[in-house]
Amino acid sequence: MSTPLLDQIRAQGEGGGAIPRHVAVIMDGNGRWARERRLPRTLGHREGMKAVREAVEGCIEVGIQVLTLYAFSEENWNRPAIEIGALMGLLEEYIARETAELRRNGVEVHVIGDLSRLPPAKREAVDQLVMGTLGGTRLQLNLAISYSSRAEIARAARRLADDVVQGRLALEDVDEDALALRLYTAGLPDPDLLIRTSGELRISNFLLWQVAYTELYMTPVLWPDFTRDHLYQAVLDFQGRERRFGRVTA
C-alpha cells in the first residue's frame, strides 16, 4: 500500500535519508482522550489498542526492524485497582485478538519487564503470544509490560556483580558493553527514534540507558488518535536530522 507520506519516506531513503532500524513509543494520552469525551478511562485504553495495530502495520510498511511499545510501567501498578484490572483484561483481549494477525504479518513479539508481577492467567497469555509469533522475520515487536528502566539497569548491575563474584567475568571487563548485554534489549540496536504522544515532554523511566543518543519526537496527538500517517511524519522528521553522536562534522 502506498500513500503520499510513505512515498516521501521512500524517496528520502533513496536520497540517503536513513530509515530508523528501531522505533520506541511512549503511548500516552488514553485517559485524556476519554476525559475530553466524558468517557471512562478504560474506553480510552480500548481505543488505544487500534493505534497499536496502526503503529505495527506502519512499521512494516516503512521497513523498520524493531518497534518497542511502552504498554504498562511498574509505576502503573499504583493506579486504582479497577483501572489495573481493566488494563490487564485489555492485554489478554489484545493477545486473543491479534496473535494470529501478528503471525500472518511476520511479527515476532517479545515482552520486557518484571513479568513476575502479572497475574498467572495474564502471564500465561503473554507466554502464548510470544510462542505463537516465534519466527516472525518482518518486525520484532517488544511490549514493555511492568517495565521500569531504573529497575532494568539495577537488575543488569546485579547480574554483572554476580558474574564477577562467581568468577565468570573479570572486574576489568565490566564496561558499557558488558552491562548492555544484561539488559532486556541485549542484542538489539538502540532506538534510533523515540516517539511520545500527547505532547508531554518526559521520558518517564523508559529505556533510559538505550536512548542516550536517540532522536526524540514529541507529538500533541493523543495515542488513540495515532495513525500510521503520524508514524510516517515522525520518520520523515527523523530522516531530515543530522545525527552526530557527539562528533563534529567537517
For residue 210, the SS3 value is coil
Q: Would you call 172 exposed, middle or buried from its count of C-beta atoms within 10 A (0-12, 13-18, 19+)? A: exposed
Question: Which of the following is catalytic: 7, 30, 76, 237?
Answer: 76
Count the Cβ atoms, other than its own, within 10 Å of residue 21: 15
Count the Cβ atoms, other than its own, within 10 Å of residue 103: 17
Cα-to-chain-centroid distance, residue 224? 16
Cα-to-chain-centroid distance, residue 104? 20
Return all residues near 38 (Cβ < 8 A) that are at least 6 apart: none
127 among known catalytic residues: no
28 among known catalytic residues: yes
DSSP secondary structure letter of residue 18: P
Per the structure block, which three cell numbers stand in for 115? 513479568
Count the Cβ atoms, other than its own, within 10 Å of residue 96: 12
Cα-to-chain-centroid distance, residue 18? 20
Question: Which of the following is catalytic: 7, 28, 127, 173?
Answer: 28
Residues forming the active site: 28, 76
